[in-house]
Amino acid sequence: MSDLYGNRIKVLFLCTGNSCRSQMAEGWAHALKGEVLEAYSAGIETHGMNPNAVKVMAEAGVDITGQHSKKVDTLLSVPLDYVVTVCGHANETCPRFPGMAKVVHVGFDDPPKLAAGAASEEEALQHYRRVRDEIRAFVETLPESLIPSRTRKETLPMSTIETLKQQEVRDKVRAGYAAIAAQNTESGATGCCGGSSCCGADNANDAQALAAAIGYATDELTALPEGANMGLSCGNPTALAALKPGDVVVDLGSGGGFDIFIAGRKVGAEGRAIGVDMTPEMLGKARKNAVAYTERTGLNNVEFRLGEIEHLPLADNSVDAIISNCVINLSPDKPQVWREIARVLKPGGRVSVSDIALLQPLPEAIMGKVEALIGCVAGAVTMAETERMIRESGLGAVDLVSQSSYIDAMTNVQDPLYQEILGHLPAGARASEYITSLAVTARKAAPCCCGGAC
């Protein structure tokens, strides 16, 4: 597809600094769509070529070393057909272009920001690779997805729209939990959403009481670094995981390190406890807490990695156990989370998850609220849907146990989030009739001596 005269369609990929996302988009356009697209990239400013972007593009077989960072002003005379803004700042400050250029915004996460605080180069590159692949998926839809129509929703293919929705959810969750980390650091309080809870308690005393109520032992709680318990739990996955000395255990959405520090004691000096979280602010808090953990226990067996639970920074078949506490429900792509769990577990490895699930659909007024999303409710799916996703990932020995008493407890203590939920339910209804805390266990099949799987 080209224009009416057979000319290549001129597309500019615009970002803030023209160093990473826009450069990768230009590189993919040259490599995949060179016959139909005349691709450019530019920035509101110039930050130079990002070496990590160059590296991961080279890994994918695309050499972008011939490209260079340039300001958008140098391209204002080019008769562009389309301008694609690939970051929010560029979209907000996009200049006017002469002629008939159409502007379309398709935002992508910022790899340098995601990789901030990465413990290693390999951990950082995981974020660049994920964004690189998302940009490729979009470029593959060009130029058809840029055909003018009345609305952007009509312009973009459904697969691209779904990708954008997932990114928007991640951005909201990341911002919400960054605020929790900052609030906890500054005041010692827990919670979010203007003072209401996020799957947990509103202050340090309530966080301790809640953790004790859902099964954490007093000695486990008193041994934690100060501030690690942020009141974000809805269950006790470490109690279900049957951790033993020497295990490698991973916590998905590890926050300030609450469950990881408990797991670290269980797996001992010969084991390893790895936390994965997508929020740099939480990661910084957890790593600070790890210093206190090591001083108190003498163990140097915990680490925290920046990453999304849909794209785990872990090797295949490398983990004995995976735990997660009130996090998977927040993911916009839960089937992918379970596939990642199955990928990284060793044969015979097990998963123990505490999560929020639905017993029946919630009113739309609740499902649409950002506060409820960050509060681990709007992102929840039914128990049946949860089981289906787990089994389709290839995991077996699946067991789901509803624990609605947790929801009743949060309602009884006048938790603001659950009080708001009650306000949207039919008169006389209880939140626990719609929502439950769910204890999930499953296992990856181990090979049998006969060559099959046990």
Could you give the CA distance from residue 178 to residue 172 in angstroms, rounded to a whole number? 10
Which one, of 234, 239, 235, 276, lies nearest residue 257 by Cα? 276
Sheet arrangement for strand 272-277: 302-306, 272-277, 248-252, 319-325, 345-358, 435-443, 396-403
Long-range contact set of residues 383-390: C-beta below 8 Å, sequence gap at least 24: 383/357, 383/358, 383/359, 383/436, 383/438, 386/334, 386/355, 386/357, 386/438, 386/440, 389/334, 389/335, 389/338, 390/338, 390/440, 390/442
Compute the C-alpha angle 169/161/103, nearest 5°: 105
Could you give the CA distance from residue 152 to residue 157 in angstroms, rounded to a whole number? 10
Is-contact 12 38, C-beta < 8 A?
Answer: no
Return the residue matching tokens 């926050």.
255
In degrees and rounded to multiples of 5, residue 218 shows phi and psi of: -60, -40
Q: Beta strands of 96-140 (E only): which ranges?
A: 102-105
**Could you confirm whether 376 is annotated as catalytic?**
no
Compute the C-alpha angle 291/254/411, nearest 5°: 120
CA atoms within 13 A on the CB side of 180: 35
Could you give the CA distance from residue 35 to residue 123 in angstroms, rounded to a whole number? 35
Please tell me which residue in 20, 87, 326, 376 is annotated as part of the active site: 87
24 Cβ neighbours under 8 A, 6+ residues apart: 53, 57, 64, 131, 132, 135
**Could you confirm whether 94 is annotated as catalytic?**
yes
Instruction: Kindly state the DSSP code that residue 271 receives in the 8-state scheme.
Output: S
**Could you confirm whether 449 is annotated as catalytic?**
no
Instruction: Kindly state the DSSP code that residue 298 receives in the 8-state scheme.
Output: -
The catalytic residues are 15, 87, 94
